[in-house]
Chains A and B, each alone.
Chain A
């Protein structure tokens, strides 16, 4: 079984927000909720030099997602390919999943009154297409595929940035 994951290389992210708007268009998301958000870290002077990073954050499709246990309606499930989905027909908008998500990745859609989040563009990837954010990223900063292929590299970079920024 193919396992899917999405990870960002913060050395390549330039903070252009293309992923945010690509996601909005693909998934028709109103103003407010963001299934992927580019977070700006800095600028901050570290060792006499200015530093700044852009860190896209989205649902990590966790191994053991806390949101699944938190949902009283059993609206959240993890597919065998790793994609965690919220069934909006079962969601009652209680926001318990939003409270437990360690990444703040689950968003409340005020128009529909339900919790929503990145689906990894499940409708695209099951057709062999890339998620829209990955497809439109100008620098190839977003990796999509089997997480085993790239986690070590990304973790190494994330840790280095955290250390450098002393955050």
Chain B
């Protein structure tokens, strides 16, 4: 084990990064109270020493001159950019009294909070506790409908656990890994590491993505699918797997129900038909099915590329079913079911089990009626609303008025249809924001409460760890007048005169509460760094599956009960060359929005010099042949317009690349320019959400919006 010969006065603190979802172990070098370096911790199971650019550039984030330093209140008009420094006491009293006033006037459901990266998962529990204390039901988790949660529902109805996204796939021991709409090199580098380890051991890699990504370049089989047709491919693969008898008959007989119905359904999706839908050849579909089903144990990883469509839950249902019938559930190298340390209170357990309000209240939540499996008391996801419907509720007062929002993210950039979002934010009676830097969203707030960073707080981390729990520990005291988000929540609860009906009422008590069942305190967890539970396989043999039947439900009784198709099916998205051929004459290109760059985490990091240097501008990927026809050269600024743009358009820099199909372009999302000092910080210029829509049709089960398969036209910016 290597050891740096430490200079005098340098100490090393072990903690956990939170600059993205990976939550890597880090060694932080501190000299005279100042962080001088951050390195990957070779002894931490999540990353084993590796680090990504975001984590490695954290010093430029921590000591950035533009970090928000103290609470402020607006003194000009909203969005005018005039602020006055206030004390924490004044800020908290102001926020608490306004929330109380709105609660008394409109009811607690008129108050909401939106989750974001600024606070990561740190205060999900305490913000939820604050809502819970006032019997509030409106939680605006801004990406809920198309990120993570649809997977929870699709996996959940099938086998009662969440295994095809951030936790579950045992990549390292898998013999065939198939990635759907996921590029972990850019979005989840610890997974990219594990996939490459598997490849070195001889595993096959299949990548389904309309973009030829970094990880696709390492694939044995790359499938350049037509955007939005993943469900058809999964059904076509099921057709081949069942037709050729490549599934695990014993597991199906013993643990699955509805196989005959499934068999009949997938007969509707022979490779020939699927080929026509997906732009893939019959041979590619058959090859993928055989490669994945015969190189067992095998895994699927489904990420946001699949999830932004009106077909997401059924697509991931079909993929979940493939996992089950090929016997890949809860085995080494397959998909591991929940395996948290015994006695540990996981974040999801607190959110989804302990902090639940009576069903009659939860069933009033925005989205509960339309998307009960996401938003009601029957939710298989977390306790949240349908985000586009919350924006509509703010604007219309239907189904109930929403008048106050506490934003922990750059919601103006993150949500579909930025103009409508801005209208909604401006129409709020009270708007509070917490973030590390001034953002286009914070500029619209009434009060700003600046949080401290991960290096300045103590907390338990577990959300995306399969079988361990770690301690994130304070390395330095909070800088300036920044404060722990959870402290803000406890203070607001107190100052609103609310009673928190939990046994934890401070940060320290919450940290201890979560690990108490493991027989330790948070201080002890800090010393141990992490506690790991051995992985147990085939746990279902003792407990059955967490579904109504206790079996894997190929034919879903839950979906049937709620009036959805109980078998997986394919639906064409609403705005494609197939479903809208007339529209496609004017808008001939398919637009994928929101592919990631490793420098950025959603809207974050564009002011960090070492990160911005990696990707200085938003680059629209366009095929060279298409660009030539349009007279576009590499590096030209181009306008992007969609049928939903109304009178708006955004510009990005053309990147000519064969990574995309000639009929597809790919635009990154969340673009703004922190270096521009005017209050909108250039967020109307390049952010692709200016030209997306939050209107239906949605995915009927999750409410997802088709952000990766709509139409657009692209033309050169003429000066």
Bound: A52/B186 CA distance, A: 15
B49 within 8 A of A: yes
Instruction: Give the contact stretch, choosing among B89-97, B237-245, B605-613.
Output: B605-613
Contact B2 A43 (CB under 8 A): no
- Distance (Å) between the CB of A15 and the closest chain B CB? 5
Contacting residues of chain A (134-157) with chain B, CB-CB under 8 angstroms: 135-139
- Distance (Å) between the CB of A16 and the closest chain B CB? 5
- Distance (Å) between the CB of A102 and the closest chain B CB? 25
Contact B598 A50 (CB under 8 A): no
Chain B residues contacting A95 (CB-CB under 8 Å) are none
Contact B39 A136 (CB under 8 A): yes
Closest residue of B by beta carbon distance from A14: B185
Bound: A94/B287 CA distance, A: 58
Chain A residues contacting B609 (CB-CB under 8 Å) are 30-31
Knowing that A14-B192, A135-B40 touch, tell me 8 more A-B residue pairs with CB under 8 angstroms.
A18-B56, A21-B56, A24-B610, A31-B612, A52-B659, A136-B39, A137-B50, A138-B50
Chain A residues contacting B610 (CB-CB under 8 Å) are 21, 24-25, 31
Return 12 A-B CB contacts under 8 Å, by A number: A16-B192, A17-B53, A17-B614, A20-B53, A24-B57, A25-B37, A45-B658, A49-B222, A50-B212, A52-B214, A52-B216, A138-B190
B38 within 8 A of A: yes
Contact A136 B51 (CB under 8 A): yes
Chain A residues contacting B190 (CB-CB under 8 Å) are 138
Contact B658 A18 (CB under 8 A): no
Contact B189 A138 (CB under 8 A): yes
Give the 7 A-B residue pairs with the shortest CB-CB distance, closest first.
A52-B217, A138-B193, A21-B53, A138-B50, A139-B196, A21-B56, A15-B214
Chain B residues contacting A51 (CB-CB under 8 Å) are 217
Interface secondary structure of B, over-half rule:
mixed
Do A18 and B50 contact each other (CB < 8 Å), given the known contacts A25-B57, A129-B2? yes
Bound: A133/B53 CA distance, A: 11
Bound: A49/B50 CA distance, A: 31
Bound: A54/B217 CA distance, A: 9
Chain B residues contacting A128 (CB-CB under 8 Å) are 2
- Distance (Å) between the CB of A104 and the closest chain B CB? 17
Closest residue of A by beta carbon distance from B614: A17
Within 8 Å by CB of B52, from A16, A24, A52, A130, lies A16
Bound: A136/B189 CA distance, A: 12
Do A130 and B222 contact each other (CB < 8 Å), given the known contacts A43-B217, A43-B658? no
A80 within 8 A of B: no
A108 within 8 A of B: no
A164 within 8 A of B: no
Encode A99-132 as 1/0 by CB contact (under 8 A) with B. Answer: 0000000000000000000000000100111101
B378 within 8 A of A: no
Contacting residues of chain B (195-253) with chain A, CB-CB under 8 angstroms: 196-197, 200, 212, 214-218, 222, 224
Give B contacts to A, CB under 8 Å: 2, 4-5, 37-40, 47, 49-53, 56-57, 59, 185-186, 189-190, 192-193, 196-197, 200, 212, 214-218, 222, 224, 598-599, 609-614, 657-659
Chain B residues contacting A15 (CB-CB under 8 Å) are 185, 214, 217
- Most chain A beta carbons < 10 A, residue from B2, B5, B53, B599: B53
Bound: A21/B57 CA distance, A: 7
Bound: A16/B39 CA distance, A: 16
- Most chain A beta carbons < 10 A, residue from B4, B57, B215, B613: B613
Contact A44 B39 (CB under 8 A): no
Contacting residues of chain A (1-52) with chain B, CB-CB under 8 angstroms: 12, 14-18, 20-22, 24-26, 30-32, 42-45, 49-52
- Most chain B beta carbons < 10 A, residue from A25, A51, A54, A132: A25
- Distance (Å) between the CB of A112 and the closest chain B CB? 16
Bound: A149/B218 CA distance, A: 25
Bound: A12/B193 CA distance, A: 10
- Most chain B beta carbons < 10 A, residue from A12, A16, A20: A16
Contact B37 A43 (CB under 8 A): no
Bound: A30/B610 CA distance, A: 8
Bound: A50/B212 CA distance, A: 8
Bound: A87/B407 CA distance, A: 51
- Distance (Å) between the CB of A67 and the closest chain B CB? 25
- Most chain B beta carbons < 10 A, residue from A16, A21, A50, A128: A21
Contact B196 A135 (CB under 8 A): no
Contact B38 A25 (CB under 8 A): yes
Do A136 and B56 contact each other (CB < 8 Å), given the known contacts A15-B214, A45-B658, A54-B214? yes
Chain B residues contacting A44 (CB-CB under 8 Å) are 658
Closest residue of A by beta carbon distance from B659: A43
Bound: A166/B598 CA distance, A: 29
Chain B residues contacting A24 (CB-CB under 8 Å) are 56-57, 610
